């Protein structure tokens, strides 16, 4: 699976959009981009995933660049409860269903 | 519907002791996983299972054993606890939608 690079930490004002970047320049054609988050030592929680089209669900939006070498997770109106570590994972659906978590981005939402 | 249940929540072991971390799921999922998370780090895969009777090693299997005799249960065994095994252990499952992993609340283990 391709490697991802994320900034170690970010801040965001409450109520504003949080934009979390992820670089995955070695991504291959059959690899998806996944985002999970982990709130204060709880188990990670699935947010969203996509292949090449932009995706939106009730939690967030995922924007993938046309060359697929990077992506951005957008939390449209960040709340204090969105303070967490966010993991960007690139994975092929054929690789035994294993997810490889890096160190992620620690997002702090500021009141 | 409890999802993924891990017991115990906390445990302190002495060096050389053994213990079993329990993981039970009621979602009828085939795939189950054990991860460990050291302070300030991401999760590392220890073992996983694609169904009852089938297990395989992940990134960091040394010092651990697993079994999968039923769909519901996937216990993780530490035979000779070492300080390097101090960590938080998470169990997870995936079902027919292999894109989503569901995690338990974790077991916090200290080996002293």
Whether residue B101 lies within 8 A of chain A, CB to CB, comes out as yes
Check residue A99 and give its pLDDT: 80
State how far the Cα of A33 lies from the Cα of A56, in Å rounded to an integer.
Answer: 13
Tokens coding B65? 């054993």
Three-state secondary structure string covering A19-34: EEEEECCCCCCCEEEE
Contact B3, B102 (CB under 8 A): yes
| Angle ∠(B87,B89,B92) on CA atoms, nearest 5 | 155
Contact B45, B103 (CB under 8 A): no
pLDDT tens digits for range B74-108 = 999 998 999 999 999 999 998 877 778 999 999 99
Check residue B44 and give its pLDDT: 92
pLDDT tens digits for range B28-68 = 999 999 999 998 888 999 999 999 999 999 989 999 999 99
Contact B51, B29 (CB under 8 A): no
Contact B34, B44 (CB under 8 A): no
Check residue A91 and give its pLDDT: 84
Check residue A35 and give its pLDDT: 96
Percent of chain A scored above 90 by pLDDT? 74
pLDDT reading at B27 higher than 80: yes
Cβ–Cβ below 8 Å for B42 and A36: no
Picking from B55, B103, B104, B109 by the largest number of A CB atoms within 10 A of its own CB, the best residue to mutate is B103
């Amino acid at each position: 699976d391709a490697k991802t690079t994320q900034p170690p930490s970010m801040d965001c004002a409450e109520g504003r959009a949080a934009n979390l970047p992820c670089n995955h320049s070695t991504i291959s054609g059959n690899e998806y981009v996944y985002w999970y988050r982990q709130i204060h030592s709880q188990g990670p929680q699935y947010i969203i995933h996509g292949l090449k089209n932009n995706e939106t669900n009730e939690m967030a939006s995922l924007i993938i660049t046309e060359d697929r070498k990077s992506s951005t997770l957008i939390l449209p109106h960040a709340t204090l409860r969105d303070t967490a570590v966010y993991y960007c994972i690139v994975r092929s659906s054929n690789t035994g269903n294993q997810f490889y978590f890096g160190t992620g981005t620690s997002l702090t939402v500021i009141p | 519907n409890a999802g993924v249940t891990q017991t115990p929540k906390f445990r302190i072991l002495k060096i050389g002791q053994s213990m079993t971390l329990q993981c039970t799921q009621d979602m009828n999922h085939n795939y189950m996983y054990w991860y460990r998370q050291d302070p300030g780090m991401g999760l590392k895969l220890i073992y996983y299972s694609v169904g009852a009777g089938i297990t395989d090693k992940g990134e960091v299997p040394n010092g651990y054993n697993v079994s999968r005799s039923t769909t519901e249960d996937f216990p993780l065994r530490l035979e000779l606890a070492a300080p390097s095994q101090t960590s938080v252990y998470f169990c997870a499952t995936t079902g027919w939608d292999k894109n989503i992993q569901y995690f338990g609340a974790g077991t916090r283990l200290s080996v002293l």
